[in-house]
Structure 1
Amino acid sequence: MRRLSAILGALLLATPAVAAPQSPQAVAQAITQAAQAIAPPGASLTLGPVAGAQYMQACTLPLSVSISGTAPYEQAAAHCPSPAWTLYVTVTVAQTENVVIAARPIAAGQTLGRGDITLAREPVSLYAGRQVYYDPAQLLGASAIMSVSAGGILNPADIAEPVMVKSGQTVAVQVISGGVTLSLNAVATETGRIGDTILFTNPSSGRRFSAQITATGPVLNLQP
């Protein structure tokens, strides 16, 4: 009997203890810290399932996390050095920015006033790859090319820049030559918006020349 008890005791001592499971919360915390370190300011993060961590043995050393992919959809690899295992978790990065939107429905051909547009914080994913506006003031006086519903994000395809110069109008044209800037009164022969290059006539000489319309007025840049 004593011999049997001794054998049983030896077998029990030889049986390895069941390893503790890894905490999913610890994995989620490590991934969140790593993702936040490279996320744009103001971005919010959403992690995919981390429940798979409970089937891993508890890591005895600090976890290391690497992030791959491109926002808004990235992947985190949480690696445990001892015992060695790696858990892959999806990370969704929701970045937002203040952009100009329609404060109320805008009709095609309508001239934009202060009550028509406003700033709102919108997810970048809604307009990724498109040019948008960040300052309502730059659109005051612009015309809507097409109808825009309330809350719609405005982009250059929707808007015609404000008319800065009308045909027949006498305006001051900035003439830049090297480091010298002069002002010349000239008559516009065309109507122009910001970014347009139109013809002007010098009333003194009758000479015609082209100048680009900018936010501060027509500019003629003479190359040295």
Structure 2
Amino acid sequence: MGFAVLPAAAWAAQENPQAVAAAIRQAIAPTLSSGSTISLGPVIGAQYMQACTGNLSVSITGIEPYEQAAVRCSAPNWTLYVTVTVAATEEVEVAARPIAAGQALSAGDFSLRREPVSLFAGRQVYHDAASLLGTTALMGLNPGTILTSDSVAEPVVVQAGQTVSVHVRSAGLDITVNAVAQQTGRIGQTILMINPSSGQHFSALVTKAGLVVELN
């Protein structure tokens, strides 16, 4: 009976895919922002490489969230490329229970939860309860919905026709005048005002501290 003779390489120990994955994670960890997570593409190709007798070196290229890891072994000499997807996350306010359209939000309507940035990239989100208290839901919101400036409106602090104090600031001076709002105003909006004494129209910014006019 004859016996087949296998090449010496066939008897060589194979690289451990888990060791390759661990090396990639260790290499990329210092570059991750707080709360970010990563997912790796297939590392199964490592099992077709001879076991590295030294340390694996890893270089990362590409731009978050899509990057690539080049895992290199010098003895024996081989390189394995693995895709890396980075998922940055942030703690943002989400609806904690069903919220009806037009409902003013109060404590208990929302809570902080860590979410992937990709779900709200490019939109204004909220990171603390104080910025949401008194806002109004622009639409019905299901529990878990990320709250953005598209789904809630800042609270109305001045009504059209209301006489309010306006802070006029210029060169370090802060002068208060009474004026009549020509429009309903929410925090962050600029609305038209009229000075009842002079009949002069001007614009004022609605802030949490009141209406403000900044003069250069």
TM over 0.5: yes
Q: Which runs of 5+ in 1 are unaligned?
A: 1-14
Residues 20-39 of structure 1: CA deviation (Å, up to 9, x unaligned): 43233332221111111111
- What secondary structure does 2:108 align onto? helix
Q: Measure the CA separation in 1 of the matches of 2:8 and 2:140.
A: 72
How big is the shift at 1:48? 3.0
Matched, 1:75 2:95: no
Alignment of 1:114-129 (within 5 A): 114-129=107-122
How big is the shift at 1:215? 2.5
Q: Match of 1:63, as an amino acid?
A: L
The match for 2:85 among 60, 84, 92 is 92
Matched, 1:157 2:121: no
Higher helix proportion, which one? Answer: 1
How big is the shift at 1:74? 2.9
Task: Provide the residue aligned with 2:43 in structure 1.
Answer: 50
Q: Measure the CA separation in 2 of the matches of 1:105 and 1:113.
A: 13
The match for 1:136 among 111, 114, 129 is 129
Matched, 1:111 2:104: yes
Residues 145-195 of structure 1: CA deviation (Å, up to 9, x unaligned): 211111111111112221121123232212121232222232222211122
- What secondary structure does 1:115 align onto? coil
Residues 74-108 of structure 1: CA deviation (Å, up to 9, x unaligned): 32111223332111123233332111111111122
Matched, 1:180 2:167: no
The match for 2:193 among 185, 190, 200 is 200
Q: How many residues align?
A: 209
- What secondary structure does 2:33 align onto? coil
Distance 1:59 1:174, change over 3 A: same
Q: Which has the higher mean CA deviation after the structures are superposed, 25-34 or 15-24?
A: 15-24
Q: Measure the CA separation in 1 of the matches of 2:42 and 2:103.
A: 49
Q: Match of 2:181, as an amino acid?
A: A
Q: Contact 1:72 / 1:125 at 8 angstroms: preserved in 2?
A: no
Q: Match of 1:218, as an amino acid?
A: L
Q: Which has the higher mean CA deviation after the structures are superposed, 57-66 or 111-120?
A: 57-66
TM-score by length of 2: 0.84
How big is the shift at 1:16? 6.4
Larger radius of gyration: 1
Task: Provide the residue aligned with 1:212 in structure 2.
Answer: 205
Q: Measure the CA separation in 2 of the matches of 1:21 and 1:116.
A: 55
TM-score by length of 1: 0.82
